[in-house]
Structure 1
Amino acid sequence: MNILLIGSGGREHALAWKISQSPRVTKLYCAPGNPGIAELAECVDIAADNIPALKDFALQNKIDLTVAGPEVPLTLGIVDEFELAGLKVFGPSKAAAQLEGSKMYAKKIMKKYKIPTAAYAVFTDAQKALEHVYMSRFPVVIKADGLAAGKGVTVAVSLVEAKRAIHAALRDKVFGEAGAQIIIEEFLSGEEASLLAFCDGKDFVPMVSAQDHKAVYDEDKGPNTGGMGAYSPAPAVTKEILRQVGETIFKPLLDGMAKEGAPYKGVLYAGLMLTPGGPKVVEFNCRFGDPETQAVLPRLQTDIVDIFEACLGGQISAQKISWSDAAAVCVVLAADGYPGQYAKGKEISGIAAAAALPDTCVFHAGTAKQDGRLVTSGGRVLGVTALGADIPAAIKNAYKAAGLISFPGLHKRKDIGKKALAYLP
């Protein structure tokens, strides 16, 4: 098979790494890719949101399956466009991808189909939003409605913070159109977890659990990022919670989306809060999570191409999917200043030494080649993932590998996986 992977981040490097292991793959392309992906696939200089050019490339190169990594091409309707051209593509339709493209849409669907989530209100007017928070109990959660690369969410613990977030979105337009409408939610207490599922429009098969670390600094301090690391499994997600999530979230969502005329095919990501009243949805994403993918896929033992085709063929419930019992921890190496302003072009060293360690992968996220040197080109630069017999062993292995890599201004959290330790005997 000829396969086209779309995207350029750490998630796409992990997908390229797993797809390339399939004996069914004849040729793997990635658009636009990155230097790490270039070691596994032929990178094509087409932006992930340039759907006409991607479609032309897929037709000209007889692509048998396209896998869309990031959310933007999915919300723009790449699946619909490719299918109209007779091309097979893994991911949800434009209508189904609204679950991530519009938080208000997701909230309406959850309310309609009785899926547990936080109470909320929607605003386009800053003064009305401020009047709402005056009457609210803090903390409150303020979210840009549209896509904001993981940075459109503020947990405001005071009126001052809430005002700042509301004005940033509605008055100062820092998120552009994505923040023209905001959602103000009640704050959910509990432990966060991520559960992804392979979906075929009517049925789903959950993946192994994971937990992301959103805040930039240790102990969950500082602003939210796209994710500073992840581990899998998340011990907080017990078998009983898995059952509850399946029955109260995944099943009613898939049934509801089918009734809406937008059956959901692809990967569905449920960001969860494990509250005393049971699991509730914080957000839905319409694709693999980043960096959860870098912790989950190294545990996958089944050919991922077979899984993609089972989803597209409505046969996911018949697909046997095997996972390693090993634990995985991914530590993100970021540029100093991220998620704010940061420098680029810093030379990176030590990747080969880290990747040579047993059961270790170094996934490129924000890297580039410059005059033959590997340099930083993004806020999240690398994701270092290591396996271990259990979470403590995986933490030790991941930080050992991460310690071998350096570039000026490197920043990483030092507590990835720490929350899991409280559940261990």
Structure 2
Amino acid sequence: MKVLIVGGGGREHAIAACVAKSPKADQIYCAPGNAGIAEYAVCVPIGAMEFDKLVAFAKEKEIDLVIVGMDDPLVAGLVDEMEAAGIRTFGPRKNAAILEGSKAFSKDLMKKYNIPTAGYENFTDPEAALAYLENASYPIVLKADGLALGKGVLICQDFEEAKEGVKTIMLDKKFGTAGNEMVIEEFMTGREVSVLSFVDGKTIKTMTSAQDHKRAGDGDTGLNTGGMGTFSPSPFYTKEVEAFCEQHIYQATVDAMAAEGREFKGVIFFGLMLTADGPKVLEYNARFGDPEAQVVLPRMKNDIIEVMEACIDGTLDQVDLQFEDNAAVCVVLASDGYPVSYEKGYEITGLEEFKKHDGYYCFHAGTKFDGDRIVTNGGRVLGITAKGKDLKEARANAYAATEWVQFENKYMRHDIGKAIDEA
């Protein structure tokens, strides 16, 4: 079977590594890919949003399965384009990817179908938003409606900060058209947990839990990023929490989308907040999380191609989804200055060390070839993942492995998974 993966980050590297283990995959391509993905796949210089070129390439190479890793092409309808050309594709169609593409849509869906989430209001008029905020309880959360690389969320402590937030999102359009509409949401407190799931339109099978660290600095300080590290499983995701979510959130979401005529096939990422009032949905994503995929997929026992085909064919109920009884931690090595400004093009050394150790992974997020050298090419450069018998061992292994890799302006958080010690 010939497989094409669309994307070029750490998530797609984790997917490629998983696909490469499948006896079904004879040839893997990735567009555009990166220097790490090149170990498993032929990287082709086509951008994830160049739909015409992607479809033409898939036809030319007689691709049997396309896997869309990224949110932008999913929300813009790449799956629809591929399917129209007769190419089997894993991921939600455009009308289902709106679950991530519009926060206003997803909040309205949850309200309509009684899926637990924070109280909220949607606004398209900045003046109306300001009037609402004058009498609001603080802290409060402002969210750009559309896709904003995980950065379109502002937590405001008082009205002055909220006023500045409205200006940032709706007037200055810092997140572009994502800020045409804005969600104002009550601030929730509790542990955050991420749960990824496979969905075939009617059946949902959840993967092992994880927890991301969004802030740039130690102690959850600094700006929001795409994710500075993650661990799996979450010790806070108990059997009781899982049972509640299965009853009130997971299947309810799949059924709600089907009832709206938006059958969802692919991956739903549930961002949960474990509040004093029980688990509530923080956000939905319509694809594997990044960096959550880097700790979840290495622990999956199943053949990923078989699971994805079951999602496409509507036979997921026949799959026994299984994960290893261990743990994994991922520490992101970033370029100093991320997520604001940073320099690229520095040589990365020490990558060959990972080939010598079982249970250790170096997922490339922002890298490229410069001749025969591999150099930095993004804010998040590498995701250093290690497994262990438990979370503490996995965490120690991951941090030890970060020392194997060197590049100029290397930056990381030193407290990824520290919550484990409090569990």
TM-score range, shorter chain: over 0.9
Q: Secondary structure at the match of 2:74?
A: helix
Equivalence for 2:99: 99
> Unpaired runs of 5+ in structure 2?
none
Matched positions, count:
423
> Is residue 122–residue 181 contact of structure 1 (8 Å, CA) maintained in 2?
yes
Equivalence for 1:343: 343
Tell me, yes or no, if structure 1 residue 373 matches structure 2 residue 373. Answer: yes
- Deviation of residue 161 (structure 1)? 2.3
Q: Secondary structure at the match of 2:184?
A: strand
Query: What amino acid is the match of 2:36?
Result: G
Aligned-pair identity in percent equals: 49
- Deviation of residue 356 (structure 1)? 2.8
Matches within 5 A, 1:12-161: 12-161=12-161
Q: C-alpha separation between the residues in 1 aligned to 2:374 and 2:119?
A: 46
Query: What amino acid is the match of 1:184?
Result: I
Q: C-alpha separation between the residues in 2 aligned to 1:141 and 1:279?
A: 18
Q: C-alpha separation between the residues in 1 aligned to 2:36 and 2:109?
A: 38
Q: C-alpha separation between the residues in 2 aligned to 1:161 and 1:26?
A: 54
Q: C-alpha separation between the residues in 2 aligned to 1:256 and 1:123?
A: 23
Q: Secondary structure at the match of 1:223?
A: strand
- Deviation of residue 72 (structure 1)? 0.8
Equivalence for 1:313: 313
- Deviation of residue 246 (structure 1)? 1.4
- Deviation of residue 405 (structure 1)? 1.3
Tell me, yes or no, if structure 1 residue 414 matches structure 2 residue 423. Answer: no
Q: C-alpha separation between the residues in 1 aligned to 2:157 and 2:358?
A: 43
Q: C-alpha separation between the residues in 2 aligned to 1:239 and 1:318?
A: 23
Tell me, yes or no, if structure 1 residue 405 matches structure 2 residue 405. Answer: yes
- Deviation of residue 400 (structure 1)? 0.3
Q: C-alpha separation between the residues in 2 aligned to 1:279 and 1:51?
A: 38
Q: C-alpha separation between the residues in 1 aligned to 2:297 and 2:362?
A: 13
Query: What amino acid is the match of 1:307?
Result: V
Range that drifts further, 334-343 or 204-213: 334-343
Equivalence for 1:239: 239
> Unpaired runs of 5+ in structure 1?
none
In the TM superposition, structure 1's runs of 4+ consecutive aligned residues that sit over 3 Å from their partners are: none
CA spacing shift, 1:355–1:126, aligned 2, 3 Å: farther
Q: C-alpha separation between the residues in 2 aligned to 1:110 and 1:46?
A: 36
- Measured on the aligned residues, the alpha-carbon RMSD in Å equals 1.0
Q: C-alpha separation between the residues in 2 aligned to 1:156 and 1:357?
A: 45
Equivalence for 1:216: 216
> Is residue 92–residue 264 contact of structure 1 (8 Å, CA) maintained in 2?
yes
- Deviation of residue 184 (structure 1)? 0.9
- Deviation of residue 127 (structure 1)? 2.6
Q: C-alpha separation between the residues in 2 aligned to 1:93 and 1:109?
A: 17
- Deviation of residue 378 (structure 1)? 0.6
TM-score by length of 2: 0.98
Q: C-alpha separation between the residues in 2 aligned to 1:346 and 1:315?
A: 46
- Deviation of residue 110 (structure 1)? 0.7
Q: Deviation digits for residues 207-229 of structure 1, max 9, x if unmatched?
A: 00000001111111111111000
Q: C-alpha separation between the residues in 2 aligned to 1:261 and 1:206?
A: 22
Q: C-alpha separation between the residues in 1 aligned to 2:17 and 2:410?
A: 25
Query: What amino acid is the match of 2:396?
Result: K
Equivalence for 2:323: 323
Query: What amino acid is the match of 1:131?
Result: A
Equivalence for 2:255: 255
- Deviation of residue 355 (structure 1)? 4.8
Range that drifts further, 340-349 or 259-268: 340-349
- Deviation of residue 334 (structure 1)? 0.7
Q: Secondary structure at the match of 2:94?
A: coil
TM-score by length of 1: 0.98
Query: What amino acid is the match of 1:70?
Result: M
- Deviation of residue 301 (structure 1)? 1.0
Q: C-alpha separation between the residues in 2 aligned to 1:346 and 1:121?
A: 45
- Deviation of residue 277 (structure 1)? 1.1
- Deviation of residue 358 (structure 1)? 3.1
Q: Secondary structure at the match of 2:79?
A: helix
Q: Deviation digits for residues 1-57 of structure 1, max 9, x if unmatched?
A: 101100000000000000000011111000010000011100111110111111111
- Deviation of residue 373 (structure 1)? 2.0
Q: Secondary structure at the match of 1:352?
A: helix
> Is residue 391–residue 421 contact of structure 1 (8 Å, CA) maintained in 2?
no
Q: C-alpha separation between the residues in 2 aligned to 1:162 and 1:407?
A: 39
- Deviation of residue 354 (structure 1)? 4.3
Q: C-alpha separation between the residues in 2 aligned to 1:254 and 1:337?
A: 39
